[in-house]
Amino acid sequence: MPLGYVKFPYQATYPGDNEVTADSIFSGITTFARLPWSQCLTDKTADFDIAFLGAPFDTGTSYRPGARFGPSGIRAGSRRLTLYGGYNVPLETNPFKMLKVVDCGDIPVTPYDNARAIQQIEDGHKELLHRTPYSPLGNDSLTGQPLIPLSLDGKHHPRVITLGGDHTIVLPLLRSIYSAYGAISVIHFDSHLDTWKPSVFGGSDSKGIGGGALNHGTYFYWASQEGLINNGSSIASHGAIRTTLSGPADYENDDTAGFKRIEAREIDTLGVDGIVAKIRETVGDKPVYLSIDIDSIDPAFAPATGTPETGGWSTRELRAIIRGLDGLHIVSADIVEVAPAYDTNAELTTMAAADVLFEVLGIMAKTPLGKVASKA
């Protein structure tokens, strides 16, 4: 066990206010933000409030492969997140001190059989999602009344932040989420729709997930077909949608899948606050799943991705928009399509991905997944 860790609770000893910081962040094994490494998938007794979990899968890509190395790259980019202690100034919180957060390593994913890999990802995520959280749900901060879980199964679940991998992994992740929450609202940051019909994107009508029908451009189509998405309560590709299309029918299909769009260029007229307002108006206070494609950020800031599109948002803009989601009930999240082989020597993309997740982590820590019984 690395120096500076304590076993009970199994949490890194991050410095607090006015304590010594800037320890050697480049030593030891590389976990997300130097979190404790827990063998969650094999140790059935391991508990946590939030777990980071890698899904190194990239055989659903249409252009540049390499996202199977995304989990390790994002972890490397996160090393300096706690250099000064981990306190998030805009969100006024230190998530590393509020909850038990661990790095559970990676799901063992085969690169030879897509159908098997998809099942492995669903099983791995579901195994962690159905653990008993380390911390109790607690009471409402305003009324003092006990909180009850938001899940449909009536249980309090921990949260899992998945490190992709290409965006195909979201279909098995949503299947896992459905097992606890039912059909879920989705906030999706991306430059692409990802609701394409398989006959258009991949050239296959087959329902088998081992072929071209399921890939990183069709997984939301299948999620909608399977009833995993709360249609009409979703934001699709609002994180800088700016892709070319096969034609207007792609948008019609996107509408049918239940998604609403915010184009990348709308930030020039709406600004960050306007983008946030449109998202919050759509999802309301429903439980929500957050999926972030790193290509929502312009390649000037995050070049290491499978299908880069110019004209995107800056890292600063995306982080500000995510902070604007403060108070939403984000049940789990992912960041995908980070392909470190295309990054700069300065690790621009992997650092951007880690910093985006730092904002997500802060929101999760501040907002418990519960509601007052009288408001149920």
Please enumerate, by residue number, every residue annotated as part of a binding site for Mn(2+): 167, 190, 192, 194, 293, 295
**Strand (E) positions, the chain?**
5-6, 11-12, 50-55, 101-106, 147-149, 159-164, 185-189, 234-235, 259-260, 288-293, 330-336, 370-372
Rounded CA separation 145/138 (Å): 9
Alpha carbon distance 186, 235 (integer Å): 6
For 118-142, what is each residue's pLDDT tens digit? Answer: 999 999 999 999 999 999 998 888 8
- Report pLDDT for 300: 97
User: Distance from first CA to last CA of the chain, Å, rounded?
Assistant: 43
Sequence ranges of the domains in the chain: 32-369
CATH for the 32-369 domain, from 3.40.800.10, 3.40.980.10, 1.10.357.10, 3.30.450.20 = 3.40.800.10
CA–CA dist 59, 117 (Å, integer): 10
**Whether the predicted pLDDT of 177 surpasses 70:** yes
Q: Tell me what pLDDT residue 88 has.
A: 95
Taking only the tens place, the pLDDT of each residue in 218-262 is 999 999 999 999 877 777 445 679 989 889 999 998 988 888 899
Count of positions (residues) in the chain = 376
DSSP secondary structure letter of residue 133: P
d(CA 95, CA 143): 23
Helix (H) or strand (E) holding 284: none
Q: What is the pLDDT of residue 83?
A: 83
Residue 63 host element (H or E)? none
Which residues fall in the annotated binding site?
167, 190, 192, 194, 293, 295
| Mean pLDDT, range 313-333, rounded to an integer | 97
Give me the pLDDT at residue 8, please: 39
**Residue among 328, 336, 338 at smallest CA distance from 360:** 328
CA distances from 165 to 215, 216, 224, 264, 338 (A): 12, 10, 21, 23, 7
Note the pLDDT tens digit of each residue in 13-68: 566 666 656 566 777 889 999 999 999 999 999 999 999 999 999 999 999 999 99
pLDDT at residue 161 is higher than 90? yes
Question: Which has more pLDDT, 208 or 148?
Answer: 148
Q: Where are the beta strands (DSSP E) in 266-353?
A: 288-293, 330-336
Please state, for a pLDDT cut of 90, what percent of the chain lies above it: 74
In whole numbers, what is the pLDDT of the chain averaged over residues? 90
CA distance 261 to 186: 12
Residue 12 in tokens = 């890194």
Which pair of structure tokens corresponds to residue 102? Answer: 């661990």
Residue 197 above 80 pLDDT? yes
